[in-house]
Amino acid sequence: MLKLIYTETSFRLERVNISLETWVSQRVTLTLHAGQKLIIETSRASFLLPAKDPRLTHLEQLVRAERGALISMIFVDDDYIEISLPGTWMTERIDADEGLFVTTFPSAIELAIYRIWYTTQSPAPYLC
């Protein structure tokens, strides 16, 4: 499962080894116990990756092979490509820009997206 975290000042992508259904259930339970409001809706999320990353070709091949993936990859300019994913948006307010977006794809696609994003964010050589 991929978890995209949108805050007021940043964006973070995590790959979580738990089923989407289990994670959402746990999140709902936590929110109920904390007495917080939670809005859940089907949506799409987008983020940018470097357009010149050579691993994008492999990702495009994986997406094409998985016809039902519904992932969009659109060149924004010479430097960036926008990745758009279907999934579930979770937030405290209906008009919030901050929240969590979760989605699931075959492991190869999730790992390819995560590796490209991670290595462009951090100089750390080790990948999960």
pLDDT per residue as tens digits for the range 37-78: 999 999 999 999 999 999 999 999 999 998 877 999 999 999
Tokens standing for residue 79: 């430097």
92 belongs to a structural domain? yes
The tens digit of pLDDT for each residue in 1-32 reads: 999 999 999 899 999 999 999 999 999 999 99
Query: What is the pLDDT, as a whole number, of residue 74?
Result: 94
What is the rounded end-to-end Cα distance, in angstroms, of the chain? 13
Query: What is the pLDDT, as a whole number, of residue 69?
Result: 73
Query: What is the pLDDT, as a whole number, of residue 95?
Result: 86
CA-CA distance, 124 to 46, in Å (whole number)? 24
Residue 38 structural domain:
2-121
127 belongs to a structural domain? no
List CB contacts of 48: < 8 A, sequence separation 6 or more. 76, 80, 81, 82, 83
User: Structurally, how many domains does the chain consist of?
Assistant: 1
Residue 128, pLDDT > 60, answer no
Q: What is the mean pLDDT of the chain?
A: 91
- Range in 1-5, 30-34, 89-93, 118-122 the model is least confident about: 118-122
Residue 126, pLDDT > 80, answer no
26 belongs to a structural domain? yes
Query: What is the pLDDT, as a whole number, of residue 123?
Result: 59
Query: What is the pLDDT, as a whole number, of residue 27?
Result: 93
CA-CA distance, 115 to 80, in Å (whole number)? 16
128 belongs to a structural domain? no
53 belongs to a structural domain? yes
Query: What is the pLDDT, as a whole number, of residue 47?
Result: 94
